[in-house]
Structure 1
């Protein structure tokens, strides 16, 4: 079958129009297309077949115009006016408000047509011009025309073409939008075919689309079978409209995906690159890619060789080998050091994929690059810390280990060379130890899992090899949410230390018993010696009184020696008694006011103070925990020594106090003869003296007694002195708080 030449030409023109439309990818969203009149193209058509569908595009068209504050004019018949208003109300349009405000007018053609020219097709154009002139504001006008109302029963094709041409021109000149409604049952197919081609845009349901069959009125050709031609045109428009809508949705989804990818890459601080493997150039790169290499402005000649120039020399060959391997495997992933433009060294990670043509030849590589310098620094620090930890653990007496919540060992490190962790990992204590020992070890670990609080305890238990003791520390191990996921533990073998401690305690106990016996002996001996010593002293003085005249000079001297010796013996025995009574006859320690104690001690040495013209300066003295009687003896001895060893000048004595945590440090300072540093410890030993009795009388037991008193109070006694620079005796006493 052959077709007429002019029909074939028309078909070719239509095909060309379709191809052009597809290349341009016109928009199919109503809100987009209905604003095209701003560019001078605002002429729409809608063709319906039944009464149910005819108002669907009209309501959408009117609603969009009201949203844009446009002037809406509907030209229809008397019969269809009420149906149109009802459809608008059903479509959500507040018709009454729109009508009252004047933004909507629904006018029957019969009311505006002149009696002389009823059904004239130019009426809508004239009405459009009129309403545009009457509009004082800049609002735009939207015209809807029911074409069956303006056409005669037998519409003339040339009149329709001429009318549509005038309306298209009017819409462009008046900045208006027009929608022409055609009822397919009332117009011939041949005419509708031309009508379709007269409108730049078509409305199908609520969707607007560019009309791929649009042609200027002068180009219209009416060949072929009109009925099938019209149906084919309408079906094609509707199909293409649906296709374009789908394409638009996919395009939007693709744009959204691209945006999400861009945001993800920016958040991940990733640079994008594409490498042409034929030319080894990379013209496609992101800004972040070039910034990683230190470029503020993208270089023009970037490629694989340029990249290799930035690779650190030590990594150069390894990167080239990875590239060669990637051409075979299809995956290119590596980490290397680079040298930036400013000379700084950085670490980067590259991850790419190779693409091939149909023959299997690699043609391009696409991937990302990331600066991982901070991660590498952290990894290096972690390796260093792990090495330090390993060395510390190897040189530490502690055994460190981790347990899961089932109390099974997950990691263990021990300083013992013969230690085998493989026999312990994955097991529990009750699988490794005897029942009694296992329960002792596991109990504190269970407690930490239950309470979430760490513990430190000394554990002693029996093993077949004997009794062992450990200092065990257990701490909970948490995840990021704070939930306990295991335990971290450290154990120190203190078996030998506990054995030494027991031996030391036994030795101390024995020494205490021996010391107690010695004290008892010293007390008994000194007490028992006093009676015969008193008898000797009494008879010597009796001889001196009755027979002094009978002695010659030597006899008197001998007798004097005997009496002085007896007196010194008495002083030593009394001092020894006082020394032994420090522990046995001392009062319980209680709060004592040192101010009162010091005043009483000054009264005890008042004669020495007056005879030597001593001057004593005292700071405020605190309240301490002590034995008032013994502390009085302490002050008395220190003040007496300060006066006794003051030298030729009147004694200058200063007594002070200073708080040190839970202790008070008391000092007694003088400006006397001083003491050689080599003798500082010697003078605190019992019966030791630095001077002869002719120079300074005394028993040599005073400072030893002072030290014994301070030791009973738990403190310390020491001296700071230089010959000729005086001496400062200091001691510590516990606070009374």
Structure 2
């Protein structure tokens, strides 16, 4: 064909403006002819064959050749699929009629064979067209284009030939019955073909540039004509009717449009083949449309560095379009510093590989930090210009939602874990880590087998094989229950819900599992099963247990207590043979029990006042009830016990059970202990008084000794040699240390003897007083003292201040080369306050934890750290006087923390009664 012979006005603006008109006209004509039900057939198979060859086969073969050339240059797999569709379309017109003529006997045309072959090939052509456009959007390329081209076109010829073979040998179902129309199978095949051609036309036209390229416009119109023509053929009932010929005319006209599309494309590209270029640009536009709306787009010419941004890209950055030049370097200035190096590396990798897919943060022009997602691909134009096109869009809300989801996972009371295809753990939430007893570092990367899943469970089931089966049979193991293993080796039961994730090729990526601990449920199930198995023996076991109990157990079998029975111990204690009725509520029973009477607080109880009768009558439980049994021998035994009502399912009282123990001997021992305790209290007071008097009175002669030593040094100092002077110094230091020890002993004794009233006290006031007393030593050591917000407690304010002073003084005193840092913390407990005094000093070895609280016990020499070894003893004495506890936690060389508790303001500790 002479391309110059085609006038530009014909192919250009004038004719193309009205090229769509035949489509609705032909569609209307088809609908009108279908409504008229014309039953005249115009059977001219040879003419039909000739027209098909001219308008369909030859044009299609020419287009197939051009597409082959384009594929060898561009290697686009989608373009090749379109070529296969065009080839099969051309063959369908030829073999549909030709094969039917060959099969016809005595030159009688075989209508069903012609229609079956044609319709089947048309369906294959529509499928190839639609697949080709979709693959073009994904820019799939191949590495051996000549081989792939030959294989694809050969396969197209073979499948067409195979269709002809099946039809001519009678292996295909009936497609058309003359006078009745198409069968169901034919209507499905042809209807789906109409839909595929129409959808291909829409994708090709609506996702292309505006204005449309000549190829996109004319070829999409050709596809619409094919769809209209096939629709006319589909609804005909008489083959070769006027309706059928109208449909065939639409298909032949589509061949003309295809030819115009190719010629127009060749003219526009100056002789080069731009057929693949048009589909590729459509794919680019469709990809951007399908990703999202309101996206920032960028396009970079990799050869020149020229970059184009749309307005949305500037809006994402929070700047005006004229504020900065549009290039990667300008964009990088807005990237968050923590993400900049990573993004730059990803950009360089994208330029190399052709794919860009990442998420990063930016700092907008107004200072707001936002999350963006970037996606892009490498493209090559028809002139081999390398371009990189992509989009950026805001994902801040999604990131915030992910963060909330992450928080939900971390705070969930279920085990949430992920593992890769090899069952190596890649994630576990905080609850799961605590449940299994691992830290993140200990667990992540380890295989679940032998870590959280034992190789076999207690029933010898192969759990390792089960774990692998979850990946290979995910439908079977969507949920499963099995034993798991904690770090300490303990087996627990967990109910799991599993979700296996795959990549695009259906290869396993990872497994997500959510588990709930059902150990207690399993225990309950086991207990229920056990109770069912032991139901027959329960009564006998209960009676044996009651008889073996060392306590007296009486059971009232009715609300009126007319019948009371007991266990063996109760009968032995009551001195009544089994199984006599032990109720005193009946006269005949009371006569048998006349050998003992019951007393409460010295008053004899009548039958209705007895505890088991009272509980059965009122339904109120009695606890810690004491009762005296007086036998006619004069022996008195004291009992202590609890009595509870027996209720039916409706909550009505049906009897009572009383359990008592003989506490006669215990009462005697308690009285003896009480007397001993009183004697001990008096002894302690005497000892404290003695310590006070001793320490006070001993200081008087000690002062005299100190004075005489001083006089001796003054009067005879110049007559003594160095050794003598040393003796005097040693004696003086010994007196001073003795005086210090006596002072400490006096102070220690005064904690109880001269303690103040314990009343509501602001801890902060006591703390400030201690800091004021230690001001000089704190400044000398340059120590930093901090504290939490301190509460009000019930305490002796002076002793509380002394407690803080001693602990802070030790923290400052026992320091290393670091600047001392001391922090006083507090935390509310159920009925008390827990205080802590934490320092960064030299620390205490664990073996010395108890020793440091003993009076005059020291763990350092006087040369290392001077002192008397009584400060912490005083602290413990003060805390114990206030009804609290004190202890220490430390690590040698890493600081020390002293803990002590004090009663809360609204609590009264019973231990204060002794003071």
TM-score range, shorter chain: 0.3 to 0.5
Structure of higher CA gyration radius: 1
TM-score, normalization by structure 2: 0.37
TM-score, normalization by structure 1: 0.46
Q: Which structure carries more relative contact order (alpha carbon 8 Å, separation 6+)?
A: 1
